[in-house]
Structure 1
Amino acid sequence: MFGGGGMNPRKMKQMMKQMGIDVEELDAERVVIETADGDDLVFDGAQVTKMDAQGQETYQIVGSPDSVADAGAGGGSAAAVKGGDADAAAIEAEDDGEDEGIPEEDVKLVAQQAGVSKEDAREALEAANGEPARAISELQ
């Protein structure tokens, strides 16, 4: 953590590019996550970010589900993002039982990219509201 406070967004973007991380905001109108128990989560107007780090794509959905739909109401893939690019249709819901809803993949990515322990990476992700790019930036 260098400096005292926030980082210039342009500099952060440049640093992420140097680390091989590409971040793209998707213009998603609706995200549907189909769960095994049939209670689907429907996000209307959620902010969806696609992050590509060394060939591994991660999708982040920021928002609250507007409704829970029953199985059979939709159909389709494990999740669908309308208005985004074709890769966005492959979002899958994961529940590994992590604290604060931080996916283990994000913890591993931040730990690897920032060269810190998983515990430090998880703390940084929690402080960054689950945003891997921001957590990596803060750790370096």
Structure 2
Amino acid sequence: MARIDSRRARRMMRQLGMRMEEVPDVERVILQGREREIVVEGPVVTVIDLKGQKIFQVTGGRITERMLEKEIEIPEEDVQLVAQQAGVTPERARAALREAEGDLAKAILLLTTTKA
């Protein structure tokens, strides 16, 4: 396959309506989903403008990936119910509900089986 020199490649890209430009001074790129996050440290980011459509290309850098922790909202009524049923303080009930991801029955079981 024949190599194309960079000058000719730029000319061909211009003819196709494509422009490429490096984004300066990028320290990190974060891709955040509902359950996980991907972080690219020290990347090279290029914006490709193709007929009004912008495409971001991220290359290089150190990649780390981690699962996001779900923050569970626990209603006060649930805390009181679990505390009453398990015979523990509201603080212990709240901790058990967090561990059980909001599941009332599981939280009560956790507290009553560890208590005995």
Runs of at least 5 residues in structure 2 that lack an aligned partner in the other structure: 70-116
Aligned to 2:19: 22
| SS of structure 1 residue aligned to 2:55 | strand
Aligned to 1:5: 2
| Number of residue equivalences | 68
Distance 2:58 2:44 in 1: 6
Identity of aligned residues (%): 28
Answer yes or no: is the 8 Å Cα contact 1:41–1:65 preserved in 2. no
Runs of at least 5 residues in structure 1 that lack an aligned partner in the other structure: 73-140
Aligned CA-pair RMSD: 2.0
Alignment of 1:1-140 (within 5 A): 4-27=1-24, 28-37=26-35, 39-63=36-60, 65-71=62-68
Cα drift, residue 44 of structure 1: 0.6
Distance 2:22 2:60 in 1: 14
Cα drift, residue 69 of structure 1: 4.2
Inter-CA distance 54–20: structure 2 relative to 1 (3 Å threshold): same
Cα drift, residue 8 of structure 1: 0.8
Residues 75-130 of structure 1, C-alpha deviations (whole Å, 9 max, x = no match): xxxxxxxxxxxxxxxxxxxxxxxxxxxxxxxxxxxxxxxxxxxxxxxxxxxxxxxx
Higher strand share: 2
TM-score, normalised to structure 1, is 0.43
Indicate the structure (1 or 2) with the bigger Cα radius of gyration.
2
| SS of structure 1 residue aligned to 2:12 | helix
State the structure with bigger RCO (CA 8 A, min sep 6), 1 or 2.
1
